[in-house]
Amino acid sequence: MPRTLDILLVEDNPNDVELALYVFRRNGIADRVRVVRDGEEALEFLQCRGNFAGRFRSEGPAIILLDLKLPRVDGFQFLQRMRSDERLRTIPVIILSTSNEPSDIIRSYALGANSYIVKPVEFERFVDAVRSIVQYWLTLNQIPDVR
């Protein structure tokens, strides 16, 4: 049976990817994280097409951490397309963005985001934020198994 993927990290900033992976390593789950760099690659991954055509849907992810400002397909477009796919719409999406613009927050929730977190600039606050996300969404939250 394929190993379950817990987190799909959709992030194009290499520094933010490294910080998040650092937290995942400290929590013993780095090997259950997949990083993609834009919304189009994330959709290909979730829909098992393109470079991910051989992937099994049963491999996850349990949650998606999504940046909004992405190349090719941005976070808003990704959310809209993902939520329109019956097979994907129940996967929790946590926005992790530098934007604290009220319009971005409202639009994210309107498109189906489950949570919106503004990325802290300070290292320790960023580490704490990602650790809290992992603890809540992978430990406490009940996720439907619709695979």
CATH number of the domain that residue 91 is part of: 3.40.50.2300
List, for residues 42-85, the tens digit of each pLDDT value.
Answer: 999 999 999 999 887 777 798 999 999 999 999 999 999 999 99
User: Is residue 11 a part of any domain in this protein?
Assistant: yes
User: Is residue 36 a part of any domain in this protein?
Assistant: yes
Q: Would you state the pLDDT for residue 144? A: 66
Number of domains making up the chain: 1
Q: Would you state the pLDDT for residue 42? A: 96
State which residues form the domain around 65. Answer: 7-139
State how far the Cα of 52 lies from the Cα of 66, in Å rounded to an integer: 19
Q: Would you state the pLDDT for residue 2? A: 42
H/E segment holding residue 93? strand 93-97
State how far the Cα of 58 lies from the Cα of 49, in Å rounded to an integer: 14
Q: Would you state the pLDDT for residue 146? A: 55
Q: Is 139 exposed, middle or buried (0-12, 13-18, 19+ CB in 10 A)?
A: exposed
User: Is residue 145 a part of any domain in this protein?
Assistant: no
Enumerate residue ranges in the chain where pLDDT < 50: 1-3
Which one-letter DSSP state was computed for residue 66?
Answer: E
The CA distances from residue 46 to 43, 50, 70, 118, in Å, are 5, 11, 17, 24
Cβ neighbour number for residue 85 with a 10 Å cutoff: 12
pTM for the complete prediction?
0.89
Q: Would you state the pLDDT for residue 3? A: 45
User: Is residue 74 a part of any domain in this protein?
Assistant: yes
User: Is residue 144 a part of any domain in this protein?
Assistant: no
